[in-house]
Chain A
């Protein structure tokens, strides 16, 4: 039964919307380098074409680095349940999953944020969004 429901759910996912991005996340961020970071939110930029969040993340030795994580633009977030200055605020301790920048800096693409309440919300697109996908639109022989 569970399996049937999972299969049914998977079918429904196939009917979802077609994404687009203003730029290639797949070029900027490395889909083979997932990252999960926890820290204190220091700044939120609700800006176009993409939002950014900044958080102070401490390593095991206690050294703190400020990370910058990119996400969807504000309107996309607002339409899907986010509220500016309410859903999360500087000072909140959050966890962010995503993928690292290809240049290895403390910069990444966000995907999911775990809020202080424990609630998880999507903040950025899936890995590779905007990079053209798994096959080209042309067939060159």
Chain B
């Protein structure tokens, strides 16, 4: 009995210490820019809520499993369904998404090294993101597919937008939240989860709220009346990764996978579900 009580006490104390350590790490004050706005400048990791330097925060976890035991169940991939409601696709569009899911994502535009679009770029966790903030403009540099967004503040979308993968973004501050309005997308990206296609009518509204030194709360509302029955909102967190740098990563360097899928289809190799 005494041993059980002792074990329980040790267990509770250990858990409390872990919680305290996590709270301590996330409770730092939000850095402010010279204009008083929260300063988002820094290198970050999307799709995580663990504070700390990259390797410590991931310690193999970001690679799936615990880094020493590959049998630990894999962590959720950004190609999987995000938490919350199902994506509100119109019935015909939902059927198309389901077909793409049944093909296990081989049609994913990023498998051709195409840019992922802003919502996917913000929620993936393998590659860092760098924010560069000035009073008039915020730039986001993504290691994933080596792409970027330039976000002028308090300005209007230009009149001569040509549809692109990452769209055209303008931002403004709503109190301490950076709100980014993005339009001008082509129809060649997936939004979040396998098969989540859209049309050029896509309108994305993102809200970045730095709630502590270590954490940005991310919310994206996606509207596309051609495929959705109502706006679709997803939420995630983005964590500061001091000491990490965004590096060059040229996807086209050795991309053999798309050709493999084509060969599978030609040879009749079964890969669907």
Q: Which residues of A contact B (CB under 8 A)?
A: 1, 4-5, 8-9, 12-13, 15-24, 26-28, 45, 47-50, 52, 72-76, 78-81, 97, 102-103, 111-112, 120-122, 125-140
Contacts and interface: CB of A to CB of B under 8 A. Distances in A.
A98 B108 CA distance: 23
Given A24-B104, A122-B63, A49 B271 contact: no
Interface string B100-140: 11011110101101001000100111111000000000000
Contacts of A76: 63, 126-127
B249 interface: yes
B267 A137 contact: no
A122 B249 CA distance: 20
B196 interface: yes
A34 to B, nearest CB: 9
Interface stretch (B155-163, B181-189, B256-264): B256-264
Contact of A17 (B73, B75, B196, B269): B75
B61 A22 contact: no
Contacts of B103: 27
B149 to A, nearest CB: 18
Most A CB atoms within 10 A — which of B82, B255, B258? B255
Interface size on B, as a range, is 35 or more
A50 to B, nearest CB: 7
A81 B62 CA distance: 12
Interface of B: 7-8, 10-11, 14-15, 18, 45-50, 54-55, 57-58, 60-68, 70, 72-82, 86-87, 89, 91, 94-95, 97-98, 100-101, 103-106, 108, 110-111, 113, 116, 120, 123-128, 143-144, 192-196, 236, 244, 247, 249-255, 257-258, 260-261, 263-264, 267, 269-271
Given A76-B63, A80-B63, A125-B64, A48 B250 contact: yes
25 contacts: A1-B11, A4-B11, A15-B49, A15-B50, A16-B48, A17-B45, A19-B77, A19-B125, A47-B253, A48-B252, A48-B255, A72-B63, A75-B247, A102-B264, A103-B264, A121-B67, A122-B67, A126-B73, A130-B105, A131-B104, A132-B105, A133-B79, A135-B81, A137-B196, A140-B95
